[in-house]
Chain A
Amino acid sequence: MEQRNWKIIKFLVVALIAFLVLFWVRKTIRNEFSRLFRENSLNLAYSVSAIEPELLTERFPEILYYISYFDGIELQNRPILDVVKSLPDYEYGIENVLYEEFYISQKTVKIDEKQYFVIFSPITKDYEVMGIMIQLHAAENVLKLFRTVDIIFLIVFLIFIAVFSISTFSIDPVTAYATIITFAIVLTFILYPLYEAVRMTFMRTGTFTTKVWKTVLTERAYLKSFSNSILLGTLTATLSTVIGFLFAFMVTRTNFKGKKFVSFMVNLPLISPPFSLTLSLILLFGSNGLITKQILNLNWDIYGLDGLIIAQTMGMFPIAYLTMVGVLESIDSTLEEAAMNLGASRWKVFRTVTLPLSAPGLLSSWLLVFTNSIADFANPLMLGGKFNVLSVTAYLEVSGMNRLDRGAALSLLLLLPTMTAFYLQRYITSKKSYVTVSGKPSGRIVEIVSPSLKKTLSIIVYLIVAFLIGLYSTIFMGCFVKNWGIDYTFTLSNIVEALQRGRKALVDTTFLAAVAMPIAGIFSMIIAFLIVRKKFPGKKLLQGLVLLPFSIPGTLLGISYVIAFNKPPIMLVGTAAIIIINFIIRELPVGVEGGVAALKQIDPSIEEAAQNLGAPPQTVFSTIVLPLIRPAFISSMSYTFVRAMTAVSAVVFLISPRWYHVSMQIYNFSENLKFGLASVLSALLIIIVLSVFGILRVVVKRSEYLQKTII
């Protein structure tokens, strides 16, 4: 106990000393800056006082002044004398002037919520003082600087206190540091930008206002975008769930031909770059599309709601499919067999057994697709036409009109439905009461559809898959066509040109994705390790925060990063760092969830044994935990890489001429009707992504035997 008291005394003494030292340094810095600024101001005052009063307002519009000639004439552009008179060194200033000296007050004055330096200056003519001029120079810059200095010192002090208290009191400092750093990162890069975005929608030049929200919530165009988003989300979610369920049902409940191939093809849209399906839809059904124009010569094109539904459904029904396969596989098909043995007709079995049992799964996949659909940015940007949705409207506000506040408000509006749908979906999947899991899965499939119906259904499945294949092959075809829509002659020049013009974007993107990949992998495994294995206050909060990016639309994340990191204390806009951080944060929930699931499979006594043998937590993590959860680690890395390579919605706000993203390059090419070039880049991206997946699959497979030996 005495030992502990000593520690507390030591801690308090050192903390006090540190505080005093920092306070002294801060004061010195402030004084020095203040002296510098005053000197500058004084220098300015010399030249100001030499100018004729009539020219003052014109030359120095921001300077407030009051002039009093000894002959009684007074001039001023603002009533400032009363405020200045309240200065304690007012008399002293006047005295100085009478001796022909300039004097700058030690204090500043506040006029209209703004701080000013006060300079007393003599007005001389032929070496004789004719009058007094009081100049007010804006002191906002120095105050801003002071605020930054204060923030920096506060941060330094807090870091010092945290580090010092951990090293004094914690018996496991490494874990404590890791926890604190994790918290700091998560708060800085998830919560802080969101807070700044919300703040911006309520603040204008330092005062609280609801004007932005009033505009956003009343203007017809914005409301239309909102209802369009909801409409699109509803239609896409419904259609995707129906198709997803059909596919899942056919794969799990019937023996139709080409099952393996179908389930492979269905995975493709999940990993392909966002513009690829859109691009081929435009190539086929655009205003100059191969099918609409060249073959059918229609006046119809795909831009608008109908095109969006097609593009999104083709891209998102695989989400519903994967969810439904999981649900249907966990429903024991002997239940259906039993119902059939009891004399129920096939349709009745489906209606009374299969459908009710898969209802929660259906709702859950509907919500998942809905979230994805309304958060989608790439498809509406390219295919929307006159049909505006919220994510694109927010983007146009920011990049076209330069109205960050409205963009922020619109994307916050988007958060409402995505968050609701996301947490509702979580709630449903957490209540698994409906799913029957039997210990003895019967390998046999009871076909509850009649042969003729099965034939019809499989034809639908084949048609959809064929359409998908058609879309992908269109992209590859597009690579070799001279001028799509006009001149269909074969050429290789697209490839050469695309590689020349897109090289920088490709290299940039690959570099950024490659840097984000290992950091995201290790960081998410560390967080998973902390969450599953360590005890610390605020664990629930950390879990919630880490999960948050799941439900944040990319548009919102991008806009809030621009708002938060374009000013002190953290200036990142335009750097590679902001893009990399964005990649990492966006994919964090997936990695952490994978890591948590993997860790929960591992007997904690394995790690305890290692600790026991003398391994500190960081060694336990690198020599035991990481090798044991390698599959989760690798898939987190590959997921981050692929998502970074194919990112659009957030990164579009963060790119700069220095750091460009290939998705935007594809978009720019196709906007300029350079479809050949866009196709080449899309195809390249697909190839890169697929080969990364292929390589990692092999790596993961090799470590699969491991998982089986872990209890």
Chain B
Amino acid sequence: MKQVSLKIVNITKIFKDFKNNEIRAVDNISFEIIPGEFVTLLGPSGCGKTTTLRMIAGFEKPTEGKIFINDINVVEIPPWKRDIAMVFQSYGLFPHMSVGENIAYGLKMRKIQKEESQKKVKEILRIVGLEGFEDRPPSSLSGGQQQRIALARALVIEPSVLLFDEPLSNLDALLREQMRIEIKRIQKEVGITAIYVTHDRTEALTLSDKIVLMKDGKIEQIGNPEDVYEKPVNKFVGEFMGKIFFFPIQVLDILEKETLVRLKDRVYKIPSLPTDKADNYVLGCRTEALKISSDGPIEGKIKTIVYLGESSEYYIDTEYGEIMIRVLSPFDKNLSEGKSVKIDLVPEIAKIIPD
């Protein structure tokens, strides 16, 4: 499989709405993808991730900026000459062709001999786990199967880059999980460079080598899944990637590799530096960075306990709002609803974020 690098340089896309107002769907973004990498564009709806993907595919022309595939600027190249394949949210299968004809369509466009094309179709159907489906009409398949055909159709032409536009959003939860694993397996098997658009952070976390998190047409953070989850650069990233609580702190001293901060009357040594300079900082803590502890600085009252078997979720009212702490079983039977507790945090996995 070809190994292709992709570079997005200062891309901007401006749309005009019906009142002729300019809308910056994508606002001057840049990022790079190394060969064989699986990158996810993640963000809430309207953040410009799909527009970015469509610009890479060639369906939209950037208002400004360049897109390099293997160091060639493709902005002036139409989609049908770009050697990029896309898997669509609504599959985009050709309803008047059989599964085999659907998959062979791209091969036909590349003038590949019929025998060889049939061989390739068989091979790719084996990879996506739908052997012997050649003659079926697409409408007779289930949603998951249709999505696999769409994937096979994209893969069979051995494109430079494979694009996914929220491919799992039309499937039910169980199927989604299966297909997620399947996509990851196939991508690794063929070793293709892939870009995946989604608003589902679980998909992003499980699939990606790299996550590009976007908001309002701008990139908020680029990093591998652990970085983006554990070290959010701002409150938006922190909240988008999962449950997080913020505590206002005072930065006392910034050392070489660690920072001294004060929360109420307690001084913590945080083993990282603030990401950006700011007037005020907060400490971002995921639930796993919080614990119930008799000498914690934060006081609260247990409001609800949700028993989940192997663990329980404690919802505690504090001066910083409601905080959720997960406690593994077996847990302290003395902690019941209505009791006052103290909360401490784990400084090793807390993160200093500009307020």
Contacts and interface: CB of A to CB of B under 8 A. Distances in A.
Contacts of B83: 614
A603 to B, nearest CB: 5
Interface string A679-711: 000000000000000000000000000100111
A611 B95 contact: no
A171 B77 contact: yes
A235 to B, nearest CB: 43
Contact of A709 (B88, B139, B150, B154): B139
B95 A628 contact: yes
Contact of B137 (A605, A619, A624, A709): A709
A172 interface: yes
B86 A606 contact: no
Contact of B92 (A606, A623, A628): A606
Contacts of B282: none
Interface in B157-181: 157
A241 to B, nearest CB: 36
A613 interface: yes
B352 interface: no
Contact of A628 (B84, B88, B96): B96
A613 B76 CA distance: 18
Given A171-B78, A612-B57, A614-B80, A710 B92 contact: no
A619 B109 contact: yes
A612 B78 contact: no
Contacts of A606: 92-95
Among A606, A614, A624, A627, chain B packs the most CB atoms within 10 A around the CB of A614
A603 B94 CA distance: 10
A610 interface: yes
A19 to B, nearest CB: 27
B224 interface: no
A608 B92 contact: yes
A608 B88 contact: yes
Contact of B106 (A603, A608, A614): A614
Given A171-B76, A619-B109, A709-B137, A612 B96 contact: no
Contacts of B84: 612
Given A171-B77, A709-B137, A711-B90, A613 B95 contact: no
Interface string A188-214: 000000000000000000000000000
A416 interface: no
Contacts of A298: none
Interface size band for B = 20 to 34
Interface string A626-666: 01100000000000000000000000000000000000000
Nearest to B83: A614
A358 to B, nearest CB: 32
A609 B110 contact: no
Contacts of B110: 614
B137 A172 contact: no
B96 A706 contact: yes
A615 interface: yes
A613 B93 contact: no
A628 B91 CA distance: 16
B90 A603 contact: yes
Interface string B93-124: 11110000000011001100000000000000
A609 B85 CA distance: 8
A611 to B, nearest CB: 5
Among A172, A610, A611, A628, chain B packs the most CB atoms within 10 A around the CB of A611
Contacts of A709: 95, 137-139
Contacts of B76: 3, 171
Nearest to B104: A613
Contacts of B79: 608, 611-612
B92 A603 contact: yes
A608 B59 contact: yes
B78 A613 contact: no
B234 interface: no
A616 interface: yes
Nearest to A3: B76
Contacts of A612: 57, 79-80, 84-86, 154
A121 B47 CA distance: 86
A174 to B, nearest CB: 10
Nearest to B86: A612
Interface in A440-455: none
Interface string A588-623: 000000000000000101101111111111010001
Given A608-B88, A709-B137, A615 B105 contact: yes
A371 B58 CA distance: 46
B250 interface: no
A628 B93 CA distance: 12
Among B96, B137, B153, chain A packs the most CB atoms within 10 A around the CB of B96
B89 interface: yes
Nearest to A170: B78
A614 B78 contact: no
Contacts of A616: 78, 80
B157 A613 contact: yes
Nearest to B138: A709
B95 A710 contact: yes
A617 B78 CA distance: 10
Contacts of B138: 709
Interface in A558-607: 603, 605-606
A614 B96 contact: no
B355 to A, nearest CB: 41
Contacts of B91: 605
Contact of A609 (B61, B77, B92, B96): B92
B85 A605 contact: no
A619 B139 CA distance: 23
Contacts of B59: 608, 611
B142 to A, nearest CB: 14
B80 A615 contact: yes
A611 B91 CA distance: 14
Contacts of B105: 610, 613, 615, 623
A607 to B, nearest CB: 8
Nearest to B87: A609
Contacts of A619: 109
Contacts of B90: 603, 605, 711
Given A171-B61, A613-B80, A711-B90, 13 more contacts: A606-B93, A606-B94, A608-B59, A608-B88, A608-B92, A609-B94, A609-B153, A611-B58, A611-B59, A611-B80, A614-B109, A624-B94, A709-B95
12 contacts: A603-B90, A605-B90, A605-B91, A608-B57, A609-B93, A611-B78, A611-B79, A612-B57, A613-B85, A613-B153, A615-B109, A706-B96
For the complex of A and B, 7 pairs with smallest distance between CB atoms: A613-B106, A614-B109, A609-B92, A605-B92, A709-B139, A605-B88, A709-B95
